[in-house]
Amino acid sequence: MKITTPTVGAPCWVELSTVDPAAAKSFYAELFGWRAEEDPNPEAGGYTVLSLGDAAVAGLTPLQQPEQPTAWSVSFATADADATAAAVVAAGGRLLLEPSEVLDLGRFAIAVDPGGAAFSIWQARSFNGAAVMNEAGSLGWVELTTREVHKSKEFYPRVFGWSVTVGEMYTQWGIAGKDFGGMADMADQFPADTPPYWMPYFAVADVDRTAERAAALGATVLLPPTDVPDGPRLAVLRDQQGAVFGVHIAGA
């Protein structure tokens, strides 16, 4: 069983920070059928909500700092952003952005886990997050890739109350009996200067066709469509600006 709606402690939103918002909007519209609607409020700084039909599924924003990389980020829902931020620090993480109000939408903070992977926390007010999850064209899974596997197994359950299911080659995260993500060990598979990161996987009806279509649109296929033992068929892609994301078969 998987998370299908924003749930406290679980992922509730994903956001793309990109050097070329116009190109990104075009790419993801072609790939997933997303509709882009930019917030006209000057205070929003060009923030765009990406929707599948009328259902919000992700966000897109211009880069806020010159040194900021183009990348996807993951937000986790909390009932109290300040308490969760304090829990992050108590568990050995740190804050890049203290809890702050985002218009009337919610309260937001950016944190880094003990291994160096960044993530966000979101306390909803008028905006809960993704209106649809685990359906074709929407967020289906999140994955932490890190060198600090053991620290992460201690950190996230302390902060969010996650369950940890350790398999022979993969660790899964869950909450309230529902799995929503996993963790991969970077080990020696990545260059030493590759930082740890959280990555979204989007559910699709056909992984092979999606990977083929992404390549035709200018993306790079980092991991060709693959059947994971005891898992779904998936692929990992990098868009034209450098943001990495995965796709997996919907319903898996």
* DSSP track, 30-99: HHH-PEEEE---GGGTT-EEEEETTEEEEEEEE-SSTTPPPEEEEEEE-S-HHHHHHHHHHTT-EEEEEE
Q: What does the alpha-carbon distance between residue 201 and residue 198 come to, in Å, rounded to a whole number?
A: 10
Domain range holding 95? 1-206
pTM over 0.85: yes
The answer to whether residue 120 sits within a structural domain is yes
Percentage of residues of the chain with pLDDT beyond 90: 82
Is 60's pLDDT higher than 70? Answer: yes
**Considering the domain boundaries, does residue 127 fall inside one?**
yes
For the chain, what is the domain count?
1
- Does residue 67 carry a pLDDT above 70? yes
The reply to whether 236 falls in a domain is no
Domain assignment present for residue 23? The answer is yes
pLDDT in tens, 108-143: 999 999 999 999 999 999 999 999 999 999 999 999
Write out pLDDT tens, residues 148-201.
999 999 999 999 999 999 988 899 999 988 999 999 999 878 888 899 999 999
* Arithmetic mean of pLDDT, 16-32: 97
CATH number of the domain enclosing 61: 3.10.180.10
> How much is the average pLDDT of 94-105?
95
Q: pLDDT confidence of 1, banded at 50, 70, 90?
A: low
Across the chain, mean pLDDT equals: 94
Residue percentage of the chain with pLDDT more than 70: 99
